[in-house]
Structure 1
Amino acid sequence: MLYLDALGPGGEYRTRTRDVITDVTGTPVAELSVVPPLYVNRTIRAQRQAAPLPTARRESALADAADIFETALSGGRDFDEYVAMVSRVAGLPVTVARASARGVAEAVRGAVGAVTPARPVGAVLDWRDERTRRGRAVWARRGDVLAVHASGNSPGVHGSWAQALVLGFRVAVRPSRREPFTAHRLVNALRQAGFRPEDAVYLPTDHAGAAEIIAAADLAVVYGGQDVVDKYARDPTVLTNGPGRTKILITAEMDWHAYLDVIVDSISGQGGMACTNATAVLYEGDPRALAAAIAARLTTIEPLPASGERAILPIQPLDSARRVADYLGAKARGAEPLLGADQVVADLGDGSAALRPAVHMLECPDVDTLNTELAFPCVWIAPWSRADGVLPLRQSLVVNAITTDEELIDALLDEPTVANVYAGNHLTSHTAPAIPHDGYLADFLMRTKGMIRD
């Protein structure tokens, strides 16, 4: 049994109240300390009282932390054992868990460079810069403590908050019960690398404690469903990361055969569990041949235990998988199933199930159905016409427009509810340091202040 203790200003803290973490078969594998709201409040108060480390120390410690995260023992487990545990509990294919965990290390290693594109060109980082004598903008934090309510669908969600450390924030992380291991390993790595206990804390807690983290911190990043997005929509101190509802649009002049690989990989890569996986494919014309080709590719994916190197599909407890299939069946009423809800659950015989891909074709681009996003390779395919415009593409984290129509790309970039626009032979999950995920995180963390001095 692995014990995941809270990591507060005073070091490790094992509480009397603990959650048992089980893997996808229902086997207990870890106990997670659950801290009360009072402990949360006192911890964040201690973080606020600690001044940021000097910039150079923060930058060097982040580079060291990335190496420690990938190479050192943490909780008695090395990197490969940690990855295996993530795969076993979260149901991620082990290759996806490994790649995502290595992505966390790369994000921490590159955190300094990642904030640079977000800084306004007219702003300086330090008021002592000589340019402030002539009048300049200073890039300043909007607070001292950032709270992070992490999701459990992938280790990768923990890569971005290291940018807040670059900027001098102290960070309080509330991990997901579904995958509490990455945050624990990363906070330990940061401390081993030279960050103080106050700089990054690990606060597993219940709903009351979660609310206290947001209330006590200056700013918060929160992951969740549409209900979470709606709850904090009017709160300028909370940045929400909700459903991706990522889409691909192909216009009639394009030969979709040439893009079939990128379409299928956008749907099924990362186990289909990421917010950047394609949820819908729209085609200008009759999409039947395209839908059949996508289904033919996806049906070849074999359901395997997540621990296998060839595994592609996500795993859930059997009862949970059946609930997902039932929900899909209800949402798919009226759609034509090419790979329907009735074949989604692949019982692995140990209390868990793989989620086979689902492909449904719609008669028209119904917005509600197109935006139904599930955490496995599940795609809706629909016809699209110029008369439909960008309406069916709204509320999308990524739209890949496979088109030569520059006015259409202009319209997508002008649409406020579309975060990222790709054009052509690019995975919807493509990332790079200079490409914001849903805006730069620093856009939320920082502001400019005018300054002039003698």
Structure 2
Amino acid sequence: MAATHDLLMLDALGPAGAYQTRERQTITDVAGHPLAELSQVPRLFVTRAMAALRKADPLPVDERVAAIARAGELYAGVVDGVPIADHEHLVSRTTGLPICVVREATQMIARSAAEAYSSAQAARPAGAVNDWRDPLTHAGRGVWTRRGEVFAVHAPGNEPAVHGLWLEALALGYRVAVRPSSRDPFTPHRLISALRASGFRDDQIVLLPSSHDVAEEIIRAADLALAYGGANLMRKYAGLASMLPQGPGRSKILLTAEADWREHLDVIVSSVSAMAGRACTNTTAVFVEGDPTPVAQAIAERLSALPSLPPEDEHAVLPVLPLAEAQPLEDHLLAKAQGTRAWLGGDGIIDDLGDGSAVLRPAVHQLARPDAPQAGIELAFPCVWVAPWTRESGLEPLKDTLVLTAITADTELVDALVADPTIRNVYVGDRPTWWLEPGIPHDGYLGGFLMGAKAVIRD
């Protein structure tokens, strides 16, 4: 990464090193100011890069685990002469994420790097070993092996910490190709540069910025792929065995009648607003057994006190977008919220900062019934729908959710929630929906998608 004419030149990172192309995309901050030019690789470059990954042998396991851990430490320090503080400021200005959220992501990436192999191992079946040479295979044993050799990632730009996940694939011996988001190409560029500086060869891990058409070639040429996006992406890749699509989270909180919501208000508000409301684990809907009105009112009072500040401000907690992007989002919310009771955001959510960017203020709307369609709407800022829930409503309103925090003492209800396959994670009690630790499944274990078990018996 180099500066030319006051713009950073962000090169592709191919199997033979950095590669600067003629076709480039200008990366702007939230106020529309150009900050960088991102090289865009052509289809032929992708084809050759993916072939090089396939030909490359993985590093020995001990070497790659140590190299990933070193890269995590380096990422949080100085990479290619760029201190982490400068990188964090850049990511904050381009993504609109508060600087505190970007700093937390730095620590999570470093921690994920340190624990990448052990996190991946959490998915290994109890009856399987890692190597056919293990003495247990003399009597017959499952051996955990890769389902392929090359793994592709279509990265999102909503939250930098997601880049800690694909490090597990690298730890398992995959060669990895990352297509960065144009909103945040800086995080994967820095992480891959750190990995290369820590012992990974250029033909082990590549960064392939590209147009949407060329990006399809990255997926086609990989054995397995991970992609992030909305409902359209989920429909596009539904049923494709080689693809793990990561779509909307629609995370929820359920408060049953025996729980005093006042004792859990901190967790509810944090679940809605932490990470600037940008993550798939942020709460989209709160279901209340009883009257939801005081709950909605209390959430709105808390969220209304959050300040409107530029993302790089030390006290910023809300997301910022270019004003031209914020306006359609506000229009969409107001249209969808018709017929609901607005406690916050009923007149709009844009707070113009006067420089071409706008803060997205929180929104709180109360629904009349648990099956109202708005409860399934997820937006990229603190936006929550508060709805009534009864035992007669059952699990139906709670389905299709990444994380459900159930604040309840009803163990039979928890049994049903855990058993439901459309509810991916269940947190019982005072746990925010955004809670996640290395080694804990997010949308299942990534290792369960990347690996399989085969029987081996030997003399």
Task: Give me the TM-score of the superposition, normalised by structure 1.
Answer: 0.99
1:4 equivalent in alignment to 2:10: yes
Give CA deviations for 1:364-417 in whole Å, capped at 9, x if unaligned: 013531110001100000000011111111110000010011111111111111
Distance in structure 2 (CA, Å) of the matches to 1:365 and 1:36: 49
Q: Secondary structure at the match of 1:326?
A: helix
Partner in structure 1 of residue 35 of structure 2: 29
1:310 equivalent in alignment to 2:315: yes
Matches for 1:48-197 after TM superposition, within 5 Å: 48-74=54-80, 76-197=81-202
Partner in structure 1 of residue 287 of structure 2: 282
Is the 1:40–1:213 Cα contact (8 Å) retained in structure 2? yes
Partner in structure 2 of residue 450 of structure 1: 455
Matches for 1:344-359 after TM superposition, within 5 Å: 344-359=349-364
Cα RMSD of the aligned pairs, angstroms, is 0.8
Matches for 1:31-50 after TM superposition, within 5 Å: 31-50=37-56
Matches for 1:275-424 after TM superposition, within 5 Å: 275-424=280-429
Is the 1:325–1:342 Cα contact (8 Å) retained in structure 2? no
Is the 2:365–2:385 Cα contact (8 Å) retained in structure 1? yes
Q: Secondary structure at the match of 1:298?
A: helix
Give CA deviations for 1:195-231 in whole Å, capped at 9, x if unaligned: 0111110000001211000000000000000100111
Is the 2:138–2:457 Cα contact (8 Å) retained in structure 1? yes
Superposition misfits of 4+ residues, deviation over 4 angstroms: none
Matches for 1:425-444 after TM superposition, within 5 Å: 425-444=430-449
Distance in structure 1 (CA, Å) of the matches to 2:182 and 2:370: 36
Distance in structure 2 (CA, Å) of the matches to 1:429 and 1:267: 9
Q: Secondary structure at the match of 1:62?
A: helix
Partner in structure 1 of residue 252 of structure 2: 247
Alignment partner of 2:212 out of 194, 207, 210:
207
Give CA deviations for 1:23-43 in whole Å, capped at 9, x if unaligned: 000000000000011111110
The letter for the 2-side match of 1:296 is E
The letter for the 2-side match of 1:443 is G
Distance in structure 2 (CA, Å) of the matches to 1:63 and 1:151: 23
Is the 1:92–1:306 Cα contact (8 Å) retained in structure 2? yes
Q: Secondary structure at the match of 1:19?
A: strand
Is the 2:401–2:422 Cα contact (8 Å) retained in structure 1? yes
Is the 1:325–1:341 Cα contact (8 Å) retained in structure 2? no
The letter for the 2-side match of 1:404 is A
Is the 1:93–1:308 Cα contact (8 Å) retained in structure 2? yes
Give CA deviations for 1:213-256 in whole Å, capped at 9, x if unaligned: 00000000000001001110110100011001000000011100
Distance in structure 1 (CA, Å) of the matches to 2:136 and 2:211: 48
1:260 equivalent in alignment to 2:261: no
* Residue 106 of structure 1, CA deviation: 1.0
Is the 1:91–1:306 Cα contact (8 Å) retained in structure 2? yes
The letter for the 2-side match of 1:200 is I
Distance in structure 1 (CA, Å) of the matches to 2:399 and 2:411: 18
Is the 2:345–2:361 Cα contact (8 Å) retained in structure 1? no
Partner in structure 1 of residue 3 of structure 2: none
The letter for the 2-side match of 1:40 is V
Is the 2:119–2:440 Cα contact (8 Å) retained in structure 1? no
Partner in structure 2 of residue 16 of structure 1: 22
Distance in structure 2 (CA, Å) of the matches to 1:73 and 1:235: 37
* Residue 259 of structure 1, CA deviation: 0.1
Q: Secondary structure at the match of 1:342?
A: coil
Distance in structure 2 (CA, Å) of the matches to 1:83 and 1:245: 28
* Residue 86 of structure 1, CA deviation: 0.3
* Residue 179 of structure 1, CA deviation: 0.6
Is the 1:250–1:401 Cα contact (8 Å) retained in structure 2? yes
Distance in structure 2 (CA, Å) of the matches to 1:209 and 1:129: 42
User: What is the total number of aligned residue pairs between the two structures?
Assistant: 453
Which range is displaced more, 317-326 or 173-182? 317-326
Give CA deviations for 1:105-125 in whole Å, capped at 9, x if unaligned: 111111011112111111111
* Residue 102 of structure 1, CA deviation: 1.8
* Residue 341 of structure 1, CA deviation: 4.1
* Residue 73 of structure 1, CA deviation: 2.9
Is the 1:8–1:197 Cα contact (8 Å) retained in structure 2? yes
Q: Secondary structure at the match of 1:114?
A: helix
Q: Secondary structure at the match of 2:327?
A: helix
Distance in structure 2 (CA, Å) of the matches to 1:341 and 1:179: 31
Give CA deviations for 1:153-205 in whole Å, capped at 9, x if unaligned: 01111001000111100000000001100000000000000001111100000
The letter for the 2-side match of 1:256 is W
Distance in structure 2 (CA, Å) of the matches to 1:134 and 1:415: 37
Structure 1 unaligned segments of length 5 or more: list them: none
